[in-house]
Structure 1
Amino acid sequence: MGKAGTKGVSRAERERQIVDVALEEFGGKGYSGVSVAAVALRAGISKPLVYSYFDSKDGLYLACVHRVGGLLVDAVAAAGTRSGSAQHALDTLSAIFTAVEDCRYAWAVLYDPALPPAGETRDAVRFYRGRLAAMGAAGAAGLLSHAGHDDPLDHQLLDHVWQYTVAAVMRWWSDHPDQSAAEMTARCARLLTSLGAG
């Protein structure tokens, strides 16, 4: 990641550059393992400048959450065109992979277990997680309904399995950064086909 610099750069561009650096820092080390000073140093700017843009560490993390939360929600929503079909699961995974290929830490930032228990940042995380969870539940319900299965516990169980599966896949991908979005999609297609789900 290059330095953000301070001269001849618009405020919007400088904010984007700082968030780019912060995403990698927070995504790689977790909320509790990152300081504003470390982000500023890596971005090649002063710590007071970061504070002037984001007010606090929480403000900086909040900007990261909005960036990745919007990215993930938009990607999953766009993948909903095949809702109710077995292909929907793969379409959703592919959309997530493609959306975050250049922002591999997106999932880690949104699902960091070490976030503060309350406040604006936690509220934003809950909002985006809730949107993603609701779309996942709707997709699972659509798949079962399409197959003629209306048992509420079946719906609940499949939703539970889906949520944990996506989290596990994203963790695996973060441990294998050499894998491209296309390679991950192909790998998941093989697995889903083998399981009879794709």
Structure 2
Amino acid sequence: MTTLPSRAGTKGVPRAARERQILAAATEQFGRHGYEATTVAAVAARVGVTKPLLHHYFGSKQDLYLACLNPVGDRLLDAIRAAMTEPASGTPPTPLRVLHALFLALDPQREAWFVLYDTSLPPHSDAARRAAHYRGAIDDLAATGTADLLHAAGSGDPLDADALKYAWRGLCTALVHWWVNHPDQSPEAMAQRCARLFAASRTALATGNDST
């Protein structure tokens, strides 16, 4: 997982490199603290630049957030789509492929998930609308996947698919939250852990085991 030194460079840093430093620091700040609690001053201090320089590169706080959000949203959507279209023969089930793809996409900076799923975005702002666009696109993919799973299980109730879609989002968020707190766990280790948890859940449900 990407971590920054307390001051990532001073004078003489090429603009492209400086912008990458700022985006990495801003993604970390937005992901850990949320949009509302993150300040441009905190991001600038994290990188070791002035607020005027940061504003010169990225504009307002909202512009900076969008510069962090867009690559995260695109990366996650691409990862999910690729996992869902991967031939199923000889591969793990679709939910496990999607989770593994998410872990791989987020591994460079795991807090990025919470940039997308930020509950503190100003209502009706460009930031909220853009985040909602990405969340909606991910939900649409989840709806397709959960509907296929329920159809295979013999459930034709559309509300089942809707409920499972929301449960899936919550599961992904909970797993990423746990993962952020366990930085030693690789994407592969997380995928294997999920496979074990899914298998244990299937066993418990199949046997009616209600032990705690």
TM-score by length of 1: 0.90
Q: 3-state SS of the aligned residue for 1:196?
A: helix
Q: State the AA in 2 paired with 1:170.
A: V
Q: Does 1:172 align with 2:178?
A: yes
1:35–1:57 CA contact under 8 A, matched in 2: yes
Q: Does 1:17 align with 2:21?
A: yes
The corresponding residue for 2:68 is 64
Q: State the AA in 2 paired with 1:55.
A: G
User: Take 2:29 and 2:162, find their aligned partners in 1: how far apart are those partners?
Assistant: 35
Give every structure 1 segment of 4 or more consecutive aligned residues whose post-TM-superposition deviation is greater than 4 Å: 82-86
User: Take 2:69 and 2:39, find their aligned partners in 1: how far apart are those partners?
Assistant: 16
The corresponding residue for 2:130 is 124
1:84–1:142 CA contact under 8 A, matched in 2: no
User: Take 2:74 and 2:66, find their aligned partners in 1: how far apart are those partners?
Assistant: 12
Q: Deviation per CA, 1:114-145, whole angstroms, max 9, x where unpaired?
A: 11112211111011111111111111012222
Q: Deviation per CA, 1:32-91, whole angstroms, max 9, x where unpaired?
A: 222111111111211101101111111111111112111211111111125889700000
Q: 3-state SS of the aligned residue for 2:171?
A: helix
Structure-2 change in CA distance of 1:105 and 1:152 (3 Å): same
The corresponding residue for 1:102 is 108
Which protein has the larger Cα radius of gyration, Structure 1 or Structure 2? Answer: 2
Pick which of 56-65 and 80-89 moved more.
80-89
Pick which of 72-81 and 145-154 moved more.
145-154
Q: State the AA in 2 paired with 1:181.
A: P
Pick which of 85-94 and 135-144 moved more.
85-94
Q: Does 1:145 align with 2:156?
A: no
Structure 1 residue 4 displacement after superposition? 4.6
The corresponding residue for 2:12 is 7
User: Take 1:130 and 1:46, find their aligned partners in 2: how far apart are those partners?
Assistant: 36
User: Take 2:160 and 2:87, find their aligned partners in 1: how far apart are those partners?
Assistant: 17
Q: State the AA in 1 paired with 2:183.
A: P
User: Take 2:174 and 2:139, find their aligned partners in 1: how far apart are those partners?
Assistant: 15
Q: Does 1:31 align with 2:31?
A: no
Pick which of 35-44 and 82-91 moved more.
82-91
Q: State the AA in 2 paired with 1:138.
A: T
Gaps of 5+ in 2: 204-212
Alignment of 1:153-172 (within 5 A): 153-172=159-178
User: Take 2:69 and 2:178, find their aligned partners in 1: how far apart are those partners?
Assistant: 21
Q: Once the two structures are aligned, what percentage of the paired residues are identical?
A: 44
Pick which of 161-170 and 106-115 moved more.
161-170
Gaps of 5+ in 1: none
Please, what is the CA RMSD of the aligned residues? 2.1
User: Take 1:146 and 1:25, find their aligned partners in 2: how far apart are those partners?
Assistant: 42
Count how many residue pairs are aligned between Structure 1 and Structure 2: 196
Structure 1 residue 156 displacement after superposition? 2.1
